[in-house]
Structure 1
Amino acid sequence: MRESMLAMMNKIRIFGATMIAFAAVAVTSSCHDKRSTGWEYAPNMYEKIAYDPDQKNPNFKDGKTAQVPPAGTTPIGFTRFDYPNTRAGYDQASLEVKNIIAQTQSNFAEGKLLYEHYCSPCHGEQGQGDGEVTKHGYPPPPSYSKGQSSRGGAMKDLTDGKIYHTITYGVNAMGSYASQLAPEERWKIVMYVHKLQTL
């Protein structure tokens, strides 16, 4: 009989403790700010320590967070092309710059595809300067195999460096394609243009 009384008292205590726990949860959740989303699992994800690029920053002399990279540094993944957008830079690139990618069938095929997408609207499918835009009143670019370069010399004699320089900076009515084509893609187009120079 005494054991059944003890068992009953234990059940009452467990039930009481459970009810107190529920009551505590109810009280704390009812007093909680309704606009809050609750406890934060990782507050550093919401309340960051780092400065935003446009914020003032006392850690730098000029008070700006966004700093110019140190002189002479190159961003990760950026390929330098240290030839200026001048005639002298064009001529120097002609002498010094050579195609850096392997002469493979897959690179050639990709160069052809890139040429068709980016270059053929003006230069034409075969590089003859008869692209679709010339039918709408735009001046035709010179033929790669028969034309003369506006910078002098035959188009069929353009070197790797001259073609790459022109794709990078543009010339005459042709704008720069540096923002549309990565350096490796430009080299693949250079590879394909050499084929068009022989047609």
Structure 2
Amino acid sequence: MLAMNKFRILGTIVIVIAASIVVTSCKDKRSTGWEYAPNMYEHIAYDPDQKNNNFKDGKTAQVPPAGTIPVGFVKFDYPNTKDGYELASVEVKTVLAQTQANYKDGKILFEHFCSPCHGLSGQGDGLVVQHGYPPPPSYSKGQSSRGGAMKDLTDGKIYHTITYGVNAMGSYASQLAPEERWKVIMYVHHLQTL
């Protein structure tokens, strides 16, 4: 008889727990149930497009203060003009050591970013030319659209061109970091001698 009461009590407890789970789970259709570590998806930080009463204009995304430079940004103080191009030619020199590792990196970067137009050997015979686009001048035999032979281009002229682009070539400043540009220039100087 005592064992029978234990089974009844245990059965009643199981039925009560099951009923309470069913009742509480049906209460709110939008509820996801218990929250484990809610701070992982309900963050306290403001989203950039969210209203923020901490600033006078009420915007979370603020314009940086005047004169500030982002971390890791390298300023290039030569304008995108013919005069800026000529001044860069005289004043801008490579900042990287002429090492085999930098040369190899420059070759890889050139093959990925430059060879589609300039070709693997810098002769202006890349894939886009084969599809009907006008060829860029050869590094070793061609003439620059800004005057002078391509084989005589200096570090500054090439850096300026990579940074701002010229003619059909757009700027590669967003694709190549300053150090990567110098590595490409190192490889382009090799192509100028072919």
Q: For the superposition of Structure 1 and Structure 2, which TM-score range results when normalised by the shorter chain?
A: 0.7 to 0.9
Q: Name the residue aligned to 2:99.
A: 104
Moved more, 55-64 or 71-80: 71-80
**1:91-125 superposed Cα distances (whole Å, 9 cap, x missing partner):** 22222222222222122112112212222232222
Aligned identity (percent) is 74
Q: Name the residue aligned to 1:82.
A: 77
Equivalent in 91, 111, 120 of residue 116 of structure 1: 111
Q: Is residue 152 of structure 1 aligned with residue 147 of structure 2?
A: yes
For 2:105 and 2:63, the matched residues in 1 are separated by 36
Where does structure 2 lack aligned partners over 5 or more consecutive residues? none
Q: Name the residue aligned to 1:3.
A: none
For 1:155 and 1:112, the matched residues in 2 are separated by 18
In the TM superposition, what is the alpha-carbon distance from 1:18 to its structure 2 partner?
A: 10
For 1:35 and 1:61, the matched residues in 2 are separated by 36
Q: Is residue 27 of structure 1 aligned with residue 20 of structure 2?
A: yes
For 1:21 and 1:97, the matched residues in 2 are separated by 81
Q: TM-score, normalised by structure 2?
A: 0.81
Q: Name the residue aligned to 2:191.
A: 196
Q: Post-superposition, which runs of at least 4 consecutive aligned residues in structure 1 deviate over 4 A? A: 15-22
Q: Name the residue aligned to 2:166.
A: 171
**1:38-78 superposed Cα distances (whole Å, 9 cap, x missing partner):** 22233333333222111222211222111111122222333
In the TM superposition, what is the alpha-carbon distance from 1:184 to its structure 2 partner?
A: 2.2
Q: Name the residue aligned to 2:47.
A: 52
- Aligned-pair RMSD on alpha carbons? 2.8
Greater Cα radius of gyration, structure 1 or 2: 1
Q: TM-score, normalised by structure 1?
A: 0.79
Partner SS, residue 188 of structure 2: helix
Q: Name the residue aligned to 1:5.
A: none
